[in-house]
Amino acid sequence: MATQRSHPQSASHMVAALFLTLLFVSGCSTTHTQFLSEHWISRPQVLHLVSMHARPSRLQVIITYDGPLSSHSALRLESENGNVTFWDPAGAYGLVGHITDPHGNPISPYGERVKDLVLTHVPDIPTYIRFRWLVGDSSVEIFEWDLPRRKTEELRAILRMETDETHPNGEFHTETAPAFCSLAISDFLKRFATPTITLTDTYLWPHNLAEALLEQSPSRVRVFVRGKPEMTFVAPVQHRP
CA distances (Å), 194 to each of 186, 187, 189, in order?
12, 12, 7
Residue 86: strand, helix, or coil: strand
Q: 72 with 64: CB under 8 angstroms?
A: yes
Is the pTM of the predicted complex or chain greater than 0.85?
A: no
* pLDDT score for 36: 66
Per-domain boundaries in the chain? 54-239
Tell me the per-residue pLDDT of 104-114, one tens digit each, with 9 for 90 and over. 666 666 667 88
User: What is the DSSP-derived secondary structure letter of residue 172?
Assistant: B
Greatest mean pLDDT among 24-28, 130-134, 178-182: 178-182
Between 187 and 47, residue with greater pLDDT = 187
pLDDT digits (tens, 9 = 90+) for 23-33: 333 333 356 66
**201, pLDDT greater than 60:** yes
Angle between helices 206-213 and 181-192 (to 10 degrees): 30
Beta partners for residue 77, in sequence order: 59, 85
Summarize pLDDT for 41-59 with one digit per residue, the tens. Answer: 666 665 544 444 555 799 9
Length of the chain: 241
The β-bridge relationship of strands 220-225 and 113-114 is unpaired
C-alpha dihedral sign at 92, 93, 96, 97 = positive
234 versus 40: the higher-pLDDT residue is 234
> Which sign does the torsion angle of CA 108, 114, 115, 117 carry?
negative
Rounded distance between C-alpha atoms, residue 39 and residue 74, angstroms:
27
- Amino acid identity of residue 84, one-letter, is V
pLDDT on residue 169 = 83
Q: Which residues are CB-contacts of 176 (< 8 A; sequence separation ≥ 6)?
A: 89, 90, 116, 184
Query: How would you label 83-93 residue by residue, b for 16+ Cβ within 10 Å and e otherwise?
Result: ebbbbbbbbeb
Residue 43 · residue 229 · CB < 8 Å: no
